[in-house]
A = this chain, B = another copy of it.
C-alpha cells in the first residue's frame, strides 16, 4: 500500500432533504498492489471525517474500472497519470477554499440513506457562465468491517501520538526540575 495523498479538505456536503453544509473531510488516496492471483494496481479513494468516526465513503478503482470512467467522463489521460491529475485537482480546490467565491470546489452529494448508501464526490469549477464538472466519482458507504479496520488504524496511530506526547512531557518535566535545582544552588 502506498499513500499518495492524505489531507483535510473543505467539502460542500449536500444530502437529500438537508441544507448544504461545509465540512472538513479527510481525503485519502492510496495505491494498492495485489500480486495474487494476478499482479495489479488499484487506486483507493477514501473520505473520512475526523469528527465523526462512523463517516466513511470509499471507492476502489481498478485499471478496468478506469476505462469505463474514462469513456463515461471523457477523460484524456491514462490510468497511470490519473492519480496525479486527481491530486492536482484536489490541491487546486484546497488553494481556493479560503476564498469567498472559489473557482474550484469539492462537492459530496449523498443519496437518501434509505434508498442507497452511495455518494457522489465531484470536483466542480464555477465560471461566469456555468458549473463545470471536472470529475465525479461514485463512492460507497463503508461497511461495518471497513469502518472497523479504518478505526483500528486510527487507534494505533493515536496511541503512537499519545506515547510521543508522554515522552515529551516526561522530558520537559525533567528539564524543568533540573533548571529549578540549578537555580536554587
Contacts and interface: CB of A to CB of B under 8 A. Distances in A.
Contact of A151 (B148, B166, B169): B148
B169 A165 contact: yes
A159 interface: yes
Interface in A127-185: 143-145, 147-148, 151-152, 154-156, 158-159, 161-162, 165-166, 168-169, 172-173, 175-176, 179-180, 182-183
A96 to B, nearest CB: 30
A113 interface: no
Q: Is the interface of A mostly helix, strand, loop or mixed?
A: helix
Contacts of A179: 176, 179-180, 183
Report the 3 A-B pairs with minimum CB-CB distance, sorted nearest first: A144-B144, A151-B151, A148-B148
Interface of A: 53-54, 143-145, 147-148, 151-152, 154-156, 158-159, 161-162, 165-166, 168-169, 172-173, 175-176, 179-180, 182-183
26 contacts: A53-B151, A53-B155, A54-B152, A147-B148, A148-B148, A148-B151, A151-B151, A151-B152, A151-B155, A154-B155, A155-B155, A155-B158, A158-B162, A161-B162, A162-B165, A165-B169, A168-B169, A169-B169, A169-B172, A172-B172, A172-B176, A179-B179, A179-B180, A179-B183, A182-B183, A183-B183
